[in-house]
């Protein structure tokens, strides 16, 4: 299942009356359940996020609502391990100050030994990278802050 299919599945679940959905295909198990804050996607194996990272992200996002209005917060489309470089000794895909378009590869998220290239959704400039290379990420976790070009 690719990222586009996963996003479409999440949208269908959000629009329906289904509270929980579970699917297994080709050895990959996906479980989506609605919560009060939106859908939660878990893809086996489930990677736990450290409490300190979670609380600091909430402070960054909730503490600066004016930035959300002018800047786009790009979030993780899947659960996995975040990589900013294609190889350990390579240059990062993007760094603060870089201009990105809708087809720019921002990072790789490894999920179940599959390396998924994550492409940008908007055009603009990278302001901040909100996670560290090699860090586990959850679905919906903020990864990049992008100043959108109007």
Q: What is the pLDDT of residues 25-61, one digit of tens each?
A: 666 677 777 665 555 555 444 444 444 444 444 434 3
Position 62 scores a pLDDT of 43
Is residue 74 domain-shared with residue 92, that is, in the same domain?
yes
Q: What is the CATH number of the domain that holds 112?
A: 2.40.50.100
pLDDT tens for residues 121-132?
A: 888 899 999 999
25-50: buried (b, 16+ CB within 10 Å) or exposed (e) per residue?
eeeeebebebeeeebbbbbeeebeee
By DSSP bridging, strand 136-137 and strand 124-129 are unpaired
Task: Spell out the residues 6+ positions from residue 125 whose beta carbon is closer than 8 angstroms to its own.
Answer: 97, 98, 99, 100, 146, 147, 149
143: alpha, beta or left, given left = phi > 0 and alpha = psi -120 to 50? alpha
Report the chain's mean pLDDT, rounded to a whole number: 75
Is residue 133 domain-shared with residue 60, that is, in the same domain?
yes
What range defines the domain where residue 63 resides?
51-148
Is residue 96 domain-shared with residue 121, that is, in the same domain?
yes
């Amino acid at each position: 299942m690719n990222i586009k299919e996963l996003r479409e599945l999440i949208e269908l679940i959000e629009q329906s009356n289904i509270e929980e959905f579970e699917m297994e295909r080709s050895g990959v198990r996906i479980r989506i359940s609605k919560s009060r804050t939106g859908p939660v996607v878990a893809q086996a194996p489930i990677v736990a996020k450290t409490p300190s990272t979670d609380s600091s992200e909430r402070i960054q996002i909730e503490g600066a609502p004016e930035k959300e209005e002018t800047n786009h917060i790009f979030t993780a489309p899947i659960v996995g391990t975040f990589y900013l470089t294609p190889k350990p000794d390579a240059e990062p895909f993007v760094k603060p100050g870089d201009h990105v378009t809708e087809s720019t590869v921002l990072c790789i998220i490894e999920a179940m030994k599959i390396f998924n290239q994550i492409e940008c959704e908007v055009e603009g400039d990278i302001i901040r990278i909100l996670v560290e290379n090699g860090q586990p990420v959850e679905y919906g976790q903020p990864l990049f802050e992008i100043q959108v070009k109007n």
